[in-house]
Amino acid sequence: MILIHCPYCDEKRPEIEFANAGQAHVARPLDPSSQSDEEWEAYLFIRANPRGRHHERWRHVHGCGRFFNAVRDTVTDKFETTYKAGEPRR
Amino acid sequence: MSDALFRNEPVSSTPCVADGVSISLAAPLKRYSLRARTAEALETVLNAKVPQKIGATEGGIACLGPDEWFLRTAAETAMPTDTGLPVAITDISERSICLVVEGPRAAELLMTGCPLDFDNFAVGRATRTIYETVEIIIIREGEDRFHVEVWRSFAAWLWTAFTAAASH
């Protein structure tokens, strides 16, 4: 079982307490009505699918309940780091 | 009329006693979900100290998350209203029941379905976690005594899982 460090609880917790919530740092456009269909489509649906280092949102759903960001290697499934939501990209 | 007449518990009121561990249903409790951005706001409203560290308990209040606390109390408590502070207090007394797991094998029993290390789980610590597939809140009340809070609808399953694990 993978242990994931929760930046809020500040300890490593078992993987089953967590839920993946997709790619991190996807910012909603501040003025959606100014977006073209292509730009809006990109915001809604187009996601990175890297081989290797990937920024993801995770939620400690069966723990403190908070969303946070993580850097995970998609090849090895190893978590490089986790940090609180709102902190700059690492 | 006594509400005991209407109370219908999802698990047996007869404790399950096995070798080194017993599982029983706790008496009904009052439970409150306390949400606030800061512990200070909550302390002002409750006029009591609340723990700041996630997992810590103090005076029946457990800190479950950075903005979430869980108060369990035996007695009916009047909660303040209209405080003007950004604090949410919700009565969730009947949402869950409490199973008391007691005995020298109590930690071992919990570890049959939960990957946390309960041998190194300090007395007085509380956490939300998961047992197999069921979300629970575990509070270590004593060296050999754990309180397991589980939602009513999951309680029958958890009772069966605990009693099965206890007999092995």
Domain ranges of chain A: 3-26+36-84
Q: Are residues B15 and B54 in the same domain?
A: no
Q: Are residues B158 and B105 in the same domain?
A: yes
Contact list, A9 vs chain B (CB under 8 Å): 54-55
- Structural tokens at position B64: 């479950």
The ipTM, to two decimals, is 0.86
The pTM assigned to this predicted structure is 0.90
Across the range B131-140, mean pLDDT stands at 96
Q: Is B64 on the interface with A (CB under 8 A)?
A: yes
Residue A78 C-alpha, separation from nearest chain B C-alpha, in angstroms: 19
Contact list, A65 vs chain B (CB under 8 Å): 64-65, 68, 128
Across the range B60-81, mean pLDDT stands at 90
Contacts of B111 (CB under 8 A, 6+ apart): B117, B118, B119
Query: Which of 3.90.226.30, 3.30.2270.10, 3.40.605.10, 3.40.50.10240 would CATH assign to domain A3-26+36-84?
Result: 3.30.2270.10
Asked if residue A62 lies in contact with residue B130, where contact means CB atoms within 8 angstroms, the answer is yes
pLDDT digits (tens, 9 = 90+) for B90-115: 999 999 999 999 999 999 999 999 99
Task: Give chain B's domain count.
Answer: 2
CA distance A60 to A19: 7
pLDDT digits (tens, 9 = 90+) for A39-86: 999 999 999 999 999 999 999 999 999 999 999 999 999 999 999 999
Identify the domain containing residue B58 by its residue range: 30-91
Q: Nearest chain B residue to A2 by CA: give it.
A: B115
Q: Are residues B99 and B140 in the same domain?
A: yes
At B3 the pLDDT is: 58
Indicate the residue among B68, B91, B114 that finishes a domain: B91
Report strand pairing: A19-23 vs A11-14: unpaired
At B78 the pLDDT is: 80
CA distance B13 to A56: 45
Contacts of B35 (CB under 8 A, 6+ apart): B67, B68, B69, B87, B88, B89, B90
Contacts of B158 (CB under 8 A, 6+ apart): B99, B131, B134, B136, B148, B150
Indicate the residue among B39, B68, B91 that finishes a domain: B91
Indicate the residue among B91, B107, B136 that finishes a domain: B91
Nearest to B66 among A1, A13, A64 (CB): A64
CA distance A21 to A35: 24
CA distance B103 to B166: 11
Q: Nearest chain A residue to B114 by CA: give it.
A: A14
Q: Nearest chain A residue to B63 by CA: give it.
A: A64
